[in-house]
Amino acid sequence: MVPVLEAPGTTRVGRFGWKDQHASLLSFAADADQGEKGVTSRLLPTEMPYFGRPVDAFNQDTTEPNDTEGDIDFYARYMRATKAPPRGGITPEVQAGQAVFQKLGCDVCHTPTLQTAPPGTSLNGGLFVVPAALGGKTIHPFSDFLLHDVGTGDGIVQNGGPDSRNKLRTTPLWGLRTRGRLLHDGSASDLTTAIERHGGEAKNVQQQFRNLQRDDLKSLLVFLNSL
């Protein structure tokens, strides 16, 4: 459970960011603006230090945030409007590969299908109402959007306490075939390496993967490259 920045006192299950550190896209946008670009906003008005040094001395006006035109709201709307890349063709070999995916147990965390909240649902302390365009939709992200320790963590705690230091949000696999670098840090360049890197909660899956017959391995990779 993490705070919703735009609704003080409200918390929700985190879904955004590698560490599920944000529960709303608006909170996520504000954090990215501040942390990645050094732009403060109404939700995060305090400048971050630069290598331990305050940067207020470089501001022409420290009494208001850098984002005075609500850019974070536009970012959030843009993200809500984006779609996952379309899937490739679903051939018999792709279907066979998905059966292998499920047999291995990959779908426990890489959940194939989720349902969005119904239209009209009030979220984030009543500040966001799910529109018809987003509500009641069946989506196929191949992720549960939850934190797991699969042996690829970075040791950083952002929420959830010390136990979360090596946990990461399950990477959604939709659009997988468009990516050139894999895992949260881009440290794997191919599917086999990325799967081999799995451990922790996914150790049993990794061991089963190593024991796959050649035809099953081929079908699995064909399936993954269809996403």
At 13-36, the pLDDT tens digits run 999 999 999 999 999 999 999 988
- Please, where are the H alpha helices in 105-200? 191-196
Range of the domain at 143: 92-224
- Distance between CA atoms of residues 60 and 139, nearest Å: 46
Structure-model confidence comparison of residues 79 and 37, the more confident one: 79
Shared-domain flag, residues 138 and 172: yes
| pLDDT score recorded for residue 143 | 97
Shared-domain flag, residues 100 and 75: no
| In 118-205, beta strands by DSSP E | 122-123, 128-129, 138-139, 147-148, 168-169
Q: How confident is the model at residue 62 (pLDDT cuts 50, 70, 90)?
A: low
Does residue 76 fall inside a structural domain?
A: yes
Range 111-123 average pLDDT: 97
Does residue 87 fall inside a structural domain?
A: no
Radius of gyration of the chain (CA): 20
Domain count, the chain: 2
Shared-domain flag, residues 57 and 100: no
Q: Look at 56-60, 70-74, 103-107, 161-165 and tell me which has the smallest mean pLDDT.
A: 56-60
- Distance between CA atoms of residues 164 and 24, nearest Å: 20
Range 3-18 average pLDDT: 95
Q: Look at 42-46, 54-58, 99-103 and tell me which has the smallest mean pLDDT.
A: 54-58
- Residue 50 vs residues 35, 53, 60, 210: alpha-carbon distances, Å: 11, 5, 17, 45
Is 70 exceeded by the pLDDT of residue 93?
yes
Shared-domain flag, residues 102 and 21: no
Q: Is the dihedral of CA 73, 80, 15, 173 positive or negative?
A: negative
Is 90 exceeded by the pLDDT of residue 56?
no
H/E run at residue 93: helix 92-104
Shared-domain flag, residues 109 and 212: yes
- Distance from chain centroid for Cα 108: 16
Shared-domain flag, residues 32 and 107: no
| pLDDT score recorded for residue 204 | 95
Is 80 exceeded by the pLDDT of residue 206?
yes
pLDDT digits (tens, 9 = 90+) for 207-226: 999 999 999 999 999 999 99
H/E run at residue 208: helix 203-210
| pLDDT score recorded for residue 130 | 97
Token couple for 14: 């985190």
Range 39-60 average pLDDT: 83
Token couple for 9: 């006192």
